[in-house]
Chain A
């Protein structure tokens, strides 16, 4: 557990001496004069609609390195119309959450994993590197300044969105000489319907990632192509798309989330299975990792990271060997899936696959959801997963 001093250290208006990263010690704070107003009913918050008062804003330049970080009033960026981000999608982001615990403390869930992933995404995007620890200190400070906006309920949280993008106003395709690192937060309610379960559309003609691509990075470019596909799924009354990849229809992700299957496998073992990340086809989710680690700790079933195909999954569902299917992600935590609409034109398949997740006798997804939220809201201590922000 990292304790952060609430007094700011010495600041400098010059670029940081350590050009390899921005430094918390150089932070310049310009408190906001505006105050966000929130709906009184936390269920009306939705996802990412109500932004908090402050933003971290740090510029980078190939020659000068990182400039002094600023926390200032949340306001619009000024961007040149030729900025590379607007043309070539040179952008990465992260999503993590701060929770107001039952003991009144504010906790951020495993933020170092997000920062490590952001650095990997940045590297693949030819954007500059930074220091995980410095970024975490800045995020602590941002949360501290907007601490009154972290919802005091276990039905909501403060969603934190770090981002980095290329700002150089030069429309040649290539490495950017300028970039911006920013981080803001949004008050987020519980918007996921856990009672009904979601429906997924599985259509191998719509592909999110491919071997040799960038599916394992949180780059903006992985999301743009999914928007129209999500609209198509909605036409079929499906809430999310289940992404298959390759000739053999490997199961990879659902929506913008990882996925888990609890089944009785062909060897007749009860097994929790999720596709592995070494294929490079899916995002190594923080919730995904946490689910795997908890499940292994509990030691009540076999836990596997293994590739499986859609035909294998479909057969298991038809043979009633699939007990639960759930998605995992920072926004939904753990969300039950009740149905997959499997459309494979090439193999002439159109089938509704019902999954008894909600009525499963194991109720594993519920147990997992409770275990994770208990950690989020400090009902259970797991200090290496809880970064406490001292207010």
Chain B
């Protein structure tokens, strides 16, 4: 490693050892993860990293109370970026003070949504160490998404090492709080300026970060969902399983529709049977007593490609299975089953799961009945559940993220 050190700007931190990739390997579908030879056509390299330190006047004032920060409104001082060209491969990655991009008006990202992203977080633990939560899972998903979006591939570990450098420079932006964190947004966009709908010949990967406050400063807030099968998020043969920008644009207007009906999120249904797929931009979980009388945690399966394979989703499934307190099942679930279980008082908890808030309890569903064309209000008793399934997940994940308990291979120290 010393040879690498000499090529980047001086700093006072040591490198972390390579981490376990076992958990990511299960998800990894792209071959060629072993990048041994230096080949900029395959990836950019941490050892090529150029760092441009901010001048004092470029450094921004950090927020006084990080717990009050709203998501995605303020950014830390630095960003990482790296350009790619089809014939040359990746250029040198760079960390510099956050700055506006110059983008050609014909760039593919602005017309054909040639873009994808990830969302992950760094936490300041109770021991004052900064950690990331399962970043290799996000990077593996980002690589799969890049393949589907016809954007260039890169090496997960190189990317994670570079993100670690950003975090070292911006470490004071990681809130001193066990309810706040630093949100990390890696993004990959197609930048070449030709108007044909086709593979981008130029691209840019970049990472920005920003502190986010507590979601539940006053305790859990149950959300109301609009469930209306006239709007869909994903379909078979589409790209619902990938974190491509194109999955989000159509949801904005539907989100406004939901807001006009006093719902905070949309419950995305799919197909004739109105299968539950996602909630807002989160995966959905349900805890009930099934028709056979078993206590069961259910989330829809990834098999049809309608659902984003969430990192939190995967973590909850793993924890649930490890605990062995109830049945844990990945299977399709439709509105009729939900309504039936509710009427038979067998449905105890429903919650979203995602990076932003770990879990988000559902209190109500405003269901558009397609037969009667009327709205039905379904009350979900998540908040009064005596089982505390969602709560246990929330506490455990938080304990892991803030270093109160150790879960092998999940946290990566910076």
Contacts and interface: CB of A to CB of B under 8 A. Distances in A.
Interface in A220-263: 220-228, 230-231, 255-256
Contacts of B109: 85-86
Contact of B256 (A46, A86, A175): A175
A49 B112 CA distance: 16
Contacts of B117: 87
B149 A227 contact: yes
Contacts of A210: 232, 235, 238
B195 interface: yes
Interface string B202-238: 0000101010000000000000000001111001111
A91 B198 contact: no
Contact of B248 (A77, A89, A163, A184): A89
A224 B149 contact: yes
The bracket for how many chain A residues form the interface is: 35 or more
A111 interface: no
Contacts of B303: none
Contacts of B105: 51, 55, 74, 76-77, 163, 182, 184
A125 B249 contact: yes
B148 interface: yes
A170 interface: yes
Interface string A51-72: 1000100000000000000000
A375 B69 CA distance: 58
With a 10 A CB-CB cut-off, give which of A220, A222, A231 has the most chain B CB atoms: A220
Contact of A76 (B70, B103, B196, B250): B103
Given A163-B111, A228-B148, A228-B149, A78 B101 contact: yes
A163 B108 CA distance: 12
Interface in B284-331: none
Interface residues of B, number: 64
A219 B111 CA distance: 8
Interface in B57-78: 70-73, 75
Contacts of B75: 82
Contacts, number: 199
B247 interface: yes
Interface in A76-106: 76-82, 85-91, 93
B246 interface: yes
B229 A212 contact: yes
Nearest to B105: A184
Nearest to B111: A93
Given A172-B72, A212-B230, A91 B185 contact: no
A93 B235 CA distance: 24
B113 interface: yes
Contacts of A213: 232, 235, 250
B253 A225 contact: no
Contacts of A159: 195
A88 B252 contact: yes
B102 A171 contact: no
Interface in A305-345: none
B355 interface: no
Nearest to A243: B237
A276 interface: no
B107 to A, nearest CB: 8
B9 interface: no
A46 B245 CA distance: 28
A221 B246 contact: yes
B239 A225 contact: yes
A91 B111 contact: yes
Interface string A139-182: 00000000000000000000101010100001111110000001
A223 B113 contact: yes
A163 B98 CA distance: 26
Contacts of B20: none
Nearest to A206: B237
Contacts of A46: 196
With a 10 A CB-CB cut-off, give which of A90, A91, A221 has the most chain B CB atoms: A221
A87 B149 contact: no
B189 A86 contact: yes
With a 10 A CB-CB cut-off, give which of B98, B248, B252 has the most chain A CB atoms: B252
Nearest to B269: A212
Contact of B249 (A81, A219, A227, A255): A219
Given A48-B106, A86-B109, A221 B245 contact: yes
A391 to B, nearest CB: 24
A196 interface: no
5 contacts: A51-B193, A81-B100, A88-B248, A212-B229, A227-B198
Shortest 9 CB-CB distances between A and B: which pairs? A48-B195, A207-B237, A221-B246, A210-B235, A89-B245, A89-B113, A220-B113, A223-B112, A212-B232
Given A171-B185, A221-B245, 18 more contacts: A55-B105, A74-B105, A76-B104, A77-B103, A78-B103, A86-B187, A87-B117, A89-B249, A90-B248, A93-B111, A126-B253, A163-B105, A163-B110, A171-B210, A173-B281, A206-B237, A212-B231, A230-B197
